[in-house]
């Protein structure tokens, strides 16, 4: 079966439209439909088809492994599906540019390849990949999950387009269109109903199994793992890349800070966001007046759906090269952006101390009642009240460094914890072992008890230099929490977690980490390249190598193994069928109505001869002969018939129909 | 300039048919087909079991037309020069003189053609295809009327060489005679009680009659739509399952010519799909090469052509 012209191109564009890969889609569509314009074809052997199919399968596997290692979520499956039209393109393009319209079936089925060759050898059954590819494009477009009518509408239009050439000639186009419309409507009702059902079941499920609402990670509050039992494990995924500016890189990158602690959750009170206006170029954002700031770092981060919180060093004054549409900041130093690309790489200028955060208030000195007794006990032990603020900080840092150990594993034997003690209190008084959240929370409360304003900050710690990236990489497991203290008239980072914590986390790293890193690097480069393409930047040196290589490859393919395609006439010559308006067809219809249909491949005269004396009411076909002869002349004689003869035919048919109507 | 016969084509056909049927009982369909091939300018291959009257039909046709008639009995030791002719050195003239072989004739009966080796069979290729013979570096044209009527036993019989595909393709039609009905067979016995009736057969049409018949065939009109129908039928055999080699464009050409001739016999001035369908099996079937697998599972070329006729949409 020949592929309907332009159908594949349209399907690919539809895919590109939904998955936001329109430039790719346009190229693919041009490539696939362009085959109709070129006058050559490759002479592709079955082995070549198999090799290309194997290549596609390898690319598919690599993509699946990468996406899973990069995301580790079920989202990866949807992304793999979205990229399928690109992965399978080589095979389809090869078929389109090969001499045959189909490829052997065993190319795409390993099970068939293993089967022994038949004796005597006969050609494999073949398959036209265009239609499976069409289905693939539609599925990939669907995986983009664009809500709204445009997907279903386009889907139905493409299906109708594909089915139109294969419709049965028995029924009129109207019947065909009507039944198609019915199917479309039923399909619409069906999927809307299914969606509602799923939502309903989902809601009920959530209501049954999750009694309390799940806290969303946001700047208003953060749930800590304080008091949770078991190992705390974060992934090795690289989330940030930090290229230091002049001097050493910032040690801590803060995303948000919080003031109020209650039952393992930190809350940000009085933290309404206010928007920041960009400077004239639209990508530079001045947060405070530029006082004695220096270039601190260039930070590359992914924004999910174009929005998220920026990780910034304390003391940030200015952010450059950040193409987002809106930026908001909170008085607690969180900076939220929206409407940006997937990957941003922004330059940060920072001063010595933070000026983003609001000056301390009463909330920054509050110790929650539940923790007050434990905190007061430790403060008393350390004799904080009698010391100066600088000594206090030293004492607290020394206290945690000397007497505490880092651990991501919290065990709890029954009776271990003193009755009535909170998880934090237990950490301070008894276990003296925990992860950064314990240290940060305990430090904040201890300092507050001693009268120093403090806040709880979350973000990332920068410490791993990657030779592969030539930059500092920040992984998920480098997520960190520390205290902010108000000292000497400014907010400063104060990290009391024992320095060994990085090594402890490192020890828990997966052995696959180097592989995942390499993938991550490739994906980062690709995304950055795409971003630069979009903003019209100069492509990497890599592109200058790749382009000539691609041209060379294209030329080698073009020059090799081609055979000229026979010139087919551009449009199939329209056969003129004279006599298509012959009155005879009325008799033919009448005969069919009488239950005597023509057999396939039977000519009119044989049909009439067969009917002679047949049927329920024997029918004299003798009178039909002269009419049929005239019809034959009208239809098949290139000389045609005169108008008078046409009249004779017409009247003969009328007379016959009259006779057989009354009969 | 060919003299134009005043006799109508139908008249010629009728009288030749009547003449042949004096010796061939119950074979009117085959006789009609042979005459169609003669008028359409093609050659005929008769294939059937021994003793079904193949040679008799060929001889009767030759005798019915007052044309030069030769017969070659194909044997395994026959050589190409036995068919085409040979140059012999004449001592008196000190020169080579060409002795024409039996191929220089009007009607050639190639009896049991598949008994000769393919080498000898191939000597007929050029003559049948183009009406000429290249020999000793010289091109010799055959008469305008050159009609080969060959007979052969079914291919699987002992002591036969199957005809090469190229040779098969040169025959416009292949016909089988088959066993006649019992009462017709009794008629054959009665007719030959005393002597063979073929001895008393005289020519009832001249060579000019046949040539004018051929020219009249060319006057029969055929519409574009039916040409397309012919091409579709022949093309469908190439993609039918179980077929190794489908029919050639030469098959389309032969089918058109034969359909024109048949239309003329039926007294029509133009071709209708009926003629094409009637001739499709004898014109197309023998040109196809079937898959061994398909052949063993009982598929025949005839069956495939019949299926194709049913499958291809007929102009109505």
The secondary structure of chain B as a DSSP string is -PPPP-S-HHHHHHHHHHHHHTTSTT-HHHHHHHHHHHHHT-EEEEE--TTSSHHHHHHHHHHHEES-EEEEE--TT--HHHHHEEEEEETTTTEEEEEE-TTSSSEEEEETGGGS-HHHHTTHHHHHHHSEEEETTEEEEPPS--EEEEEE--TTSTT--PPPHHHHHTEEEEE---PPPHHHHHHHHHHTSSS-GGGG----EEHHHHHHHHHHHHHSB--HHHHHHHHHHHHHHHHSTTEEE---HHHHHHHHHHHHHHHHHTT-SB--HHHHHHHHHHHHGGG-EE-HHHHHTT--HHHHHHHHHHHSPPP-
Give domain status of residue A354, yes or no.
no
Pick from A107, A134, A166: which residue ends a domain?
A: A166
Is residue A620 in some structural domain?
Answer: yes
**Does a structural domain hold residue A610?**
yes
Lowest mean pLDDT among A1-10, A229-238, A420-429: A229-238
Q: What is the pLDDT of residue A468?
A: 78
Mutate which of A568, A634, A638 to test chain B, going by most B C-beta atoms within 10 A?
A638
The mean of the pLDDT values for chain B is: 87
Residue A354 has pLDDT above 70, yes or no: no
Minimal CA separation from B159 to chain A, in Å: 27
**pLDDT higher than 90, residue A514:** no
Task: Please enumerate residues of B whose Cβ is less than 8 A from a Cβ of A.
Answer: 221-226, 228, 269-274, 277, 291-293, 309-316
pLDDT at position A614 over 80: no
The answer to whether domain B1-78+105-217 and domain B220-316 are alike in fold is no
CA A532 – CA A54 distance, rounded (Å): 32
Cβ contact A602–B314 (<8 Å): yes
**Average per-residue pLDDT for chain A:** 79
Please report the pLDDT score of residue A532 as a whole number. Answer: 63
Closest-CA distance of chain B to residue A631, Å:
9
Confidence of residue A210 (pLDDT cuts 50, 70, 90): very low
* Number of helical (H) and strand (E) elements in chain A, helices listed first: 20, 27
pLDDT at B282: 93
Instruction: Quote the domain boundaries for residue A46.
Output: 7-166
Residue-level pLDDT at A218 = 57
**In this model, does residue A254 exceed pLDDT 60?**
yes
**Domain closes at, from A166, A186, A209:** A166
Among the three residues A134, A166, A198, which one is the final residue of a domain in this structure? Answer: A166
Query: Taking 70 as the threshold, does the pLDDT of residue B65 lie above it?
Result: yes
Q: Which CATH class is domain B220-316?
A: mainly alpha
- Residue range B69-98: average pLDDT? 89
CB contact under 8 A, A598 and B316: yes
Banded pLDDT at B279 (limits 50, 70, 90): very high
Does A12 reside within a domain? yes
State the DSSP string of A331-359.
TTS-EEEES--SEEEEEEEE-SSB-SSPP
ipTM of the modeled complex: 0.82
Whether the predicted pLDDT of B5 surpasses 60: no
In a domain, A81, yes or no: yes
- pLDDT, tens digit, for every residue of B35-49? 999 999 889 999 888
Does the residue A154 lie in any domain? yes
Does the beta-carbon distance from B270 to A636 stay under 8 Å? yes
Q: How far apart are CA A146 and CA A17, in angstroms?
A: 10
% of chain A surpassing 70 pLDDT: 83
Contact B223 A605 (CB under 8 A): no
Say if A56 falls within a structural domain.
yes
- Least confident span in A309-318, A418-427, A557-566, B215-224: A557-566
What is the rounded CA–CA span in Å between residue A2 and residue A371? 77
User: Is B230 in contact with B259 (CB distance < 8 Å)?
Assistant: yes
Q: Which residues contact B127 (CB under 8 A, 6 or more apart)?
A: B84, B103, B133, B142, B146, B148
A458-462, A517-521, B227-231, B271-275: range with lowest mean pLDDT: A517-521
Chain-chain contact of B311 with A598 (C-beta, under 8 angstroms): no
pLDDT above 90 as % of chain A: 7
- What is the pLDDT at residue A536? 43
Q: Is a pLDDT exceeding 70 seen at residue A221?
A: no
Assess if residue A86 is contained within a domain. Answer: yes
pLDDT at B2: 44
For residue A538, name the pLDDT band (cuts at 50, 70, 90). Answer: very low
Lowest mean pLDDT among A51-65, A131-145, A558-572: A558-572
pTM for the full model? Answer: 0.47
* Interchain proximity B273–A603, CB inside 8 Å: yes
Token readout for A512 is 């696959």
Candidates B278, B11, B214, B212; CA nearest to B19 is: B11
Nearest residue on chain B to A576, alpha-carbon basis? B225
Q: Picking from A261-270, A562-571, B117-126, B226-235, which range would have the lowest pLDDT averaged per residue?
A: A562-571
Q: Which CATH number fits domain B1-78+105-217: 3.40.50.720, 3.40.50.300, 1.20.120.10, 3.40.50.450?
A: 3.40.50.300
Chain A nearest CA to B28, separation (Å) = 20
Residue A213: its pLDDT value, please?
A: 34
The pLDDT of residue B28 is 87
Judge whether residue B205 has pLDDT over 60. yes
Residue of A647 and A553 predicted with greater confidence = A647
Question: Once rounded to an integer, what is the mean pLDDT over residues A372-390?
Answer: 82
* Mean pLDDT along residues A427-434: 81
Least confident of A267-271, A603-607, A608-612, B49-53: A267-271
Taking CB atoms and an 8 Å limit, are B221 and A638 in contact across chains? yes
Give the pLDDT confidence score for residue B173 in this predicted structure.
93
Instruction: Calculate mean pLDDT across residues A39-65.
Output: 84
> Residue A569 — pLDDT band, cuts 50, 70, 90?
low
Domain boundaries, chain B: 1-78+105-217, 220-316
Within 8 A of B270 by CB-CB distance, chain A residues are 632-633, 636-639
How many domains would you assign to chain A? 2
The better pLDDT of the pair B311, B3 is held by: B311
Rounded to an integer, what distance in angstroms lies between the CA atom of residue A422 and that of residue A438?
12
């Amino acid at each position: 079966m020949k592929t309907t012209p332009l159908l594949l191109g349209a399907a690919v564009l539809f895919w590109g439209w939904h998955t936001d890969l329109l430039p790719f889609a346009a190229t693919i569509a041009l490539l696939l439909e362009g085959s109709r314009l070129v006058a050559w074809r490759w002479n592709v052997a079955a082995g070549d088809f198999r090799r290309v199919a194997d290549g596609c399968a390898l690319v598919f596997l690599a993509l699946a492994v990468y996406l899973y290692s990069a995301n580790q979520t079920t989202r990866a499956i949807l992304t793999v599906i979205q990229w399928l039209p690109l992965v399978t393109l080589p095979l389809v393009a090869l078929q389109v540019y090969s001499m045959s319209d189909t490829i052997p079936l065993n190319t795409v089925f390993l099970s068939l390849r293993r089967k022994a060759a038949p004796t005597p050898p006969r050609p494999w059954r073949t398959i036209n990949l265009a239609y499976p590819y069409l289905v693939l494009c539609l599925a990939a477009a669907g995986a983009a999950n664009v809500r709204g009518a445009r997907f279903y509408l386009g889907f139905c239009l493409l299906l109708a387009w594909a089915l139109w050439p294969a419709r049965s000639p028995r029924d009129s186009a109207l019947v065909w269109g009507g039944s198609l419309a019915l199917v479309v409507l039923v399909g619409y009702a069906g999927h809307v109903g299914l969606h509602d059902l799923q939502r309903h079941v989902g809601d009920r499920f959530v209501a049954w199994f999750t009694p309390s609402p799940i806290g969303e990670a946001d700047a208003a509050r953060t749930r800590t793992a304080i008091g949770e039992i078991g190992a705390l494990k974060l992934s090795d995924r690289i989330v940030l890349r930090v290229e230091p500016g002049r001097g050493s890189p910032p040690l801590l990158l803060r995303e948000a800070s919080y003031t109020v602690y209650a039952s393992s959750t930190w809350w940000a009170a009085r933290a309404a966001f206010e928007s920041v206006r960009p400077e004239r170029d639209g990508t530079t954002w001045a947060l405070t007046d530029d006082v004695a700031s220096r270039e601190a770092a260039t930070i590359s981060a992914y924004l999910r759906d174009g929005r998220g919180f920026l990780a910034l060093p304390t003391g940030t004054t200015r952010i450059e090269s950040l193409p987002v549409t809106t930026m908001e900041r909170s008085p607690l130093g969180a900076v939220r952006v929206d409407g940006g690309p997937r990957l941003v790489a922004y330059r940060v200028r920072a001063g010595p101390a933070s000026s983003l955060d609001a000056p301390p208030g009463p909330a920054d000195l509050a110790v929650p009642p539940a923790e007050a007794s434990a905190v007061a006990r430790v403060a008393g032990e350390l004799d904080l009240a009698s010391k100066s603020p600088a000594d206090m900080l030293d004492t607290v840092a020394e206290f945690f460094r000397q007497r505490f150990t880092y651990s991501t594993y919290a065990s709890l034997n029954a009776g271990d914890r003193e009755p009535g003690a909170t998880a934090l209190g237990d950490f301070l008084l008894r276990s003296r072992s925990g992860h950064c959240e314990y240290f940060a929370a305990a430090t904040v409360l201890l300092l507050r008890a001693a009268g120093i304003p403090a806040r709880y900050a979350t973000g990332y710690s920068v410490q791993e230099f990657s030779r592969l990236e030539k930059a500092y990489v920040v992984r998920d497991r480098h997520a960190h929490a520390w205290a902010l203290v108000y000292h000497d008239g400014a907010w400063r980072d104060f990290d009391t977690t024992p320095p060994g914590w990085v090594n402890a986390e490192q020890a828990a790293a997966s052995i696959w980490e180097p592989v995942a890193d390499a993938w991550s690097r490739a994906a980062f480069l690709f995304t950055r390249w795409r971003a630069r393409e979009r903003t019209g930047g100069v492509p990497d040196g890599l592109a200058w190598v790749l382009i000539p290589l691609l041209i060379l490859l294209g030329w080698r393919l073009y020059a090799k193994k081609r055979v000229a395609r026979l010139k087919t006439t551009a449009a199939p010559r329209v056969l003129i069928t004279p006599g298509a308006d012959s009155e005879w067809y009325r008799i033919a219809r009448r005969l069919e109505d009488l239950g005597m249909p023509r057999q396939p491949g039977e000519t009119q005269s044989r049909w009439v001869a067969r009917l002679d004396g047949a049927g329920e009411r024997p029918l004299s076909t003798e009178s039909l002969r002269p009419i049929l002869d005239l019809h034959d002349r009208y239809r098949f004689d290139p000389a045609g018939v005169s108008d008078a003869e046409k009249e004779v035919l017409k009247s003969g048919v009328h007379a016959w129909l009259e006779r057989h109507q009354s009969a | 300039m060919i003299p134009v016969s005043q006799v109508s084509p139908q008249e010629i056909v009728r009288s030749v048919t009547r003449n042949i049927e004096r010796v061939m009982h119950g074979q009117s369909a085959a006789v009609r087909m042979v005459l169609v091939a003669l008028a359409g300018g093609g050659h005929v291959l008769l294939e059937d079991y021994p003793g079904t009257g193949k040679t008799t039909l060929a001889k009767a046709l030759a005798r019915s037309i007052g044309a030069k008639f030769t017969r070659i009995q194909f044997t395994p030791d026959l050589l190409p020069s036995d068919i085409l002719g040979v140059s012999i050195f004449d001592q008196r003239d000190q020169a080579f003189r060409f002795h024409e072989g039996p191929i220089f004739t009007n009607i050639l009966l190639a009896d049991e053609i598949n008994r000769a080796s393919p080498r000898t069979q191939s000597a007929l290729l050029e003559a049948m295809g183009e009406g000429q013979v290249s020999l000793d570096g010289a091109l010799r044209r055959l008469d305008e009327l050159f009609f080969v009527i060959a007979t052969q036993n079914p291919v699987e019989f002992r002591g036969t060489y199957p005809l090469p595909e190229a040779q098969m393709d040169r025959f416009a039609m292949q016909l089988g005679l088959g066993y006649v009905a019992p009462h017709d067979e009794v008629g054959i016995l009665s007719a030959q009680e005393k002597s063979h009736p073929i001895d008393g057969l005289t020519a009832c049409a001249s060579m000019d009659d046949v040539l004018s018949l051929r020219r009249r065939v060319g006057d029969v009109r055929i519409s574009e739509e039916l040409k397309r129908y012919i091409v579709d039928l022949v093309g469908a055999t190439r993609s039918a399952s179980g077929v190794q080699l489908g029919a050639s464009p030469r098959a389309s050409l032969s089918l058109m010519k034969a359909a024109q001739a048949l239309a003329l016999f039926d007294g029509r001035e133009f071709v209708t799909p009926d003629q094409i369908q009637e001739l499709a099996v004898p014109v197309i079937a023998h040109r196809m090469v079937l898959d061994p697998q398909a052949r063993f599972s009982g598929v025949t070329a005839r069956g495939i052509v019949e299926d194709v006729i049913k499958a291809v949409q007929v102009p109505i």
